Amino acid sequence: MESGQGIGTRYRAFLSYNHKDRQQARWLHRRLESYRMPRRLAGRDGARGIVPARLSPIFRDREELPAAGDLSTEVRAALAASESLIVVCSPNAAASPWVAKEVRTFRELHPERPIFAAILEGEPAQCFPAGLSTAEIEPLAADLRPEGDGRRLGTLKLVAGIAGVGLDALVQRDAQRRIRRVTAVTLGALLMMLVTMGLAIFAFTQRVEAERQRAEAEGLVEFMLTDLRERLKGVGRLDVLTATNKRALALYEGKPLRSLSPDSLERRARILLAMGEDAEKLGDRSDALYRFHEAHRVTGEQLKRDPQNPERQMVHAQSAYWLGYIAYLDRNWDVAATYWGEYRRLAQQLAARDQDNADWLREEAFSEGNWCTLELAVKARPDAALRSCQRALVIMEKVQRLRPQELRTIRDVANRQAWLADAWLASGNRGRAQAAREAQLRLLEPYASRLRLDADLQDQWMRALMVMAEALAGEDRAKSRAYRHQAAKVARDLMRRDPSNEAWRSWKRRIEGTAIKDGD
Q: What is the pLDDT of residues 142-186, one digit of tens each?
A: 889 998 889 888 889 898 888 888 888 787 876 777 777 666 655
Query: For residues 188 and 281, what is the distance between their CA atoms, to the nearest angstrom?
Result: 23
Q: What is the pLDDT of residues 447-499, one digit of tens each?
A: 877 766 678 888 888 888 888 888 888 788 888 888 888 888 888 988 888 88
Q: How high is the pLDDT of residue 467?
A: 86
- CA–chain centroid gap for 104, Å, is 45
Q: How high is the pLDDT of residue 26?
A: 93
Q: How high is the pLDDT of residue 331?
A: 95
Please name which of 392, 403, 402, 340 lies closest in space to residue 366, comparing C-alpha atoms.
392
How many other C-beta atoms can be found within 10 angstroms of the C-beta atom of residue 205? 8
What phi and psi, each to the nearest 5 degrees, are found at residue 15?
Answer: -95, 110
Q: How high is the pLDDT of residue 510?
A: 87
Q: Who has greater pLDDT, 88 or 265?
A: 88
Q: Is the pLDDT of residue 352 over 90?
A: yes
How many other C-beta atoms can be found within 10 angstroms of the C-beta atom of residue 231? 15
Query: For residues 201 and 108, what is the distance between their CA atoms, to the nearest angstrom?
Result: 68
- C-alpha dihedral, 226 to 232 to 237 to 242, nearest 10°: -40
CB within 8 Å of 462: residues ≥ 6 apart: 487, 490, 491, 494, 507
Where does the pLDDT of residue 446 fall: very low under 50, low under 70, confident under 90, or very high at 90 and above?
Answer: confident
- CA–chain centroid gap for 101, Å, is 44
Where does the pLDDT of residue 247 fall: very low under 50, low under 70, confident under 90, or very high at 90 and above?
Answer: low
Are 447 and 494 in contact by the 8 Å Cβ rule? The answer is: no
In degrees, rounded to 5, the angle at the alpha carbon of residue 274 between the alpha carbons of residues 268 and 280 is: 135
pTM greater than 0.75:
no
Please name which of 189, 234, 227 lies closest in space to residue 458, comparing C-alpha atoms.
234
Please name which of 107, 126, 127, 109 lies closest in space to residue 17, comparing C-alpha atoms.
127
How many other C-beta atoms can be found within 10 angstroms of the C-beta atom of residue 52? 17
Q: How high is the pLDDT of residue 211?
A: 47
Where does the pLDDT of residue 519 fall: very low under 50, low under 70, confident under 90, or very high at 90 and above?
Answer: low
Q: Over the chain, what is the mean pLDDT? A: 81
What share of the chain in percent tops pLDDT 70?
78
Q: How high is the pLDDT of residue 420?
A: 95
User: What are the angstrom distances between the C-alpha of 308 and each of 89, 115, 303, 349?
Assistant: 72, 78, 8, 10
Say which amino acid occupies 489. K
What share of the chain in percent tops pLDDT 90?
37
Where does the pLDDT of residue 337 fall: very low under 50, low under 70, confident under 90, or very high at 90 and above?
Answer: very high
Are 285 and 329 in contact by the 8 Å Cβ rule? The answer is: yes
Query: For residues 396 and 412, what is the distance between their CA atoms, to the nearest angstrom?
Result: 7
- Helices assigned H by DSSP within 70-133: 73-80, 91-94, 97-109, 124-127, 130-133
Query: For residues 219 and 229, what is the distance between their CA atoms, to the nearest angstrom?
Result: 14
